[in-house]
């Protein structure tokens, strides 16, 4: 049986491309309206895995994904880093100079801001890149275009008016694979955790010292507001190594005594 994987967006979304990159072209993909819906689909057993965006190299962290990782029992099972190539898509016969509206996800619009300023068209946020392409095709809008993947254009019978319209060619999105378990050690792994630090001098330093003293490298450190307590923060960290490594286990035990809580979000193979 093919692996079933939920993703946010319509068929042709960048998240769906990440599914095929990780699980192969035979994966059975299930579109979801929101990132929360992806989590719920996995948690309730409707699919085996989910793919969710974690961060973009230009726009930063996808906050909803991290908030849901904190509250969900699901684990990070893998990661994919994917180059994002934006295309301007329209129904056949549409001319670039006749465009009045450009639809896409807010992040895609932001990533193509310089190109959009060169057009005399209104940028209109939508819930999904591929969903914007699908909408233009279904409604046969002749003076509008969508910013989405080239594959979305192929799926919905749209032409590419212009390719590589993103402001920066170093535009990558990191996706997480989420599942009921994380992955076994491979020898080239990362572990993601989150913890809370007390409002006392040096509390964050004392927690991080436990990793540094054991030679554990941190590849990401970011704070997120605690939703229930104003002006308090949780700290999300990515570490080199697997949670079963002795050094990591020792560090996690030591950190428990220096934080208000610690949660291991999962260990997974490092993306190539």
Which residue ranges form the domains of the chain, and what is each CATH number? 4-84+171-179 (3.40.190.10), 87-163 (3.40.190.10), 189-269 (3.30.70.260)
173 an active-site residue?
yes
pLDDT at 16: 97
pLDDT at 228: 81
Give the pLDDT band (50/70/90) at residue 148: very high
Residue 173, classified by CB atoms within 10 Å of its CB into exposed (0-12), middle (13-18) or buried (19+), is buried
CA 91-92-96 angle, to 5 degrees, is: 80
228 an active-site residue?
no
Strands (DSSP E) found in 13-83:
28-32, 49-56, 60-61, 75-83
Both tokens assigned to 230: 């104003």
pLDDT at 63: 92
Residue range 139-151: average pLDDT? 96
- CB proximity list for 3: less than 8 A, separation 6 or greater: 23, 26, 27, 28, 48, 49
Residue 203, classified by CB atoms within 10 Å of its CB into exposed (0-12), middle (13-18) or buried (19+), is middle
pLDDT tens for 81-135 read: 999 999 999 999 999 999 999 999 999 999 999 999 999 899 999 989 999 999 9
Dihedral sign, Cα of residue 57, residue 59, residue 61, residue 62: negative
pLDDT cut 90: percent of the chain above it: 90
Q: At residue 1, does pLDDT exceed 80?
A: no
pLDDT at 85: 96
Closest C-alpha to 267, from 71, 66, 19, 78: 78
Which position among 7, 23, 39, 175 bears the catalytic label?
Answer: 175
pLDDT tens for 174-230 read: 999 999 999 999 999 999 999 999 888 999 999 999 999 999 999 999 999 988 888
Mean confidence (pLDDT) of the chain: 95
Which position among 173, 176, 191, 235 bears the catalytic label?
Answer: 173
Q: What is the DSSP string of 144-167?
A: EEEEE-HHHHHHTT-EEEEE--SS
- CB proximity list for 258: less than 8 A, separation 6 or greater: 203, 206, 207, 210
pLDDT cut 70: percent of the chain above it: 100
Give the pLDDT band (50/70/90) at residue 231: confident
pLDDT at 9: 94
Q: What is the DSSP string of 159-192?
A: EEEEE--SS-S--EEEEEEEESS-----SSEEEE
Give the pLDDT band (50/70/90) at residue 238: very high
Report the C-alpha dihedral over residues 41, 42, 46, 51, rounded to 10 degrees: 80
Give the pLDDT band (50/70/90) at residue 260: very high
Dihedral sign, Cα of residue 140, residue 141, residue 142, residue 147: negative
pLDDT at 110: 92
Determine the 3-state secondary structure of 108 from DSSP: helix
pLDDT at 230: 84
Tokens 């085996």 map to which residue? 48
Give the pLDDT band (50/70/90) at residue 51: very high
pLDDT at 213: 97
For residue 27, the 8-state DSSP code is: -
Give the pLDDT band (50/70/90) at residue 30: very high
């Amino acid at each position: 049986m093919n692996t079933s994987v939920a993703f946010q967006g319509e068929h042709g979304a960048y998240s769906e491309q990440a599914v095929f990159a990780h699980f192969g072209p035979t994966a059975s993909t299930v579109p979801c309206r929101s990132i929360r819906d992806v989590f719920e689909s996995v948690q309730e057993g409707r699919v085996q895995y989910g793919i969710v965006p974690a961060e973009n190299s230009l726009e930063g962290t996808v906050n909803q994904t991290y908030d849901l990782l904190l509250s969900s029992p699901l684990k990070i099972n893998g990661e994919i880093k994917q180059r994002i190539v934006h295309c301007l898509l329209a129904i056949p016969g549409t001319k670039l100079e006749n465009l009045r509206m450009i639809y896409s996800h807010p992040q895609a619009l932001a990533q193509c801001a310089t190109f959009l300023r060169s057009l005399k068209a209104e940028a209109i946020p939508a819930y999904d890149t591929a969903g914007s392409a699908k909408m233009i095709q279904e409604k046969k809008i002749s003076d509008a275009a969508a910013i989405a993947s080239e594959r979305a254009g192929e799926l919905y019978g749209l032409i590419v008016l212009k390719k590589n319209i993103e402001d920066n060619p170093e535009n990558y999105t990191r996706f997480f694979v989420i599942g009921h378990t994380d992955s076994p050690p491979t020898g080239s792994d990362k572990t993601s955790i989150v913890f809370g630090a007390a409002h006392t001098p040096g509390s964050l330093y004392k927690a991080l010292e436990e990793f540094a003293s054991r030679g554990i490298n941190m590849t990401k450190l970011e704070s997120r507001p605690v939703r229930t307590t104003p002006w308090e923060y949780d700290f999300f960290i990515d570490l080199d190594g697997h949670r079963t490594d002795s050094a990591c286990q020792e560090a996690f035990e030591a950190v428990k005594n220096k934080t208000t809580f610690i949660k291991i979000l999962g260990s997974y193979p490092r993306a190539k």
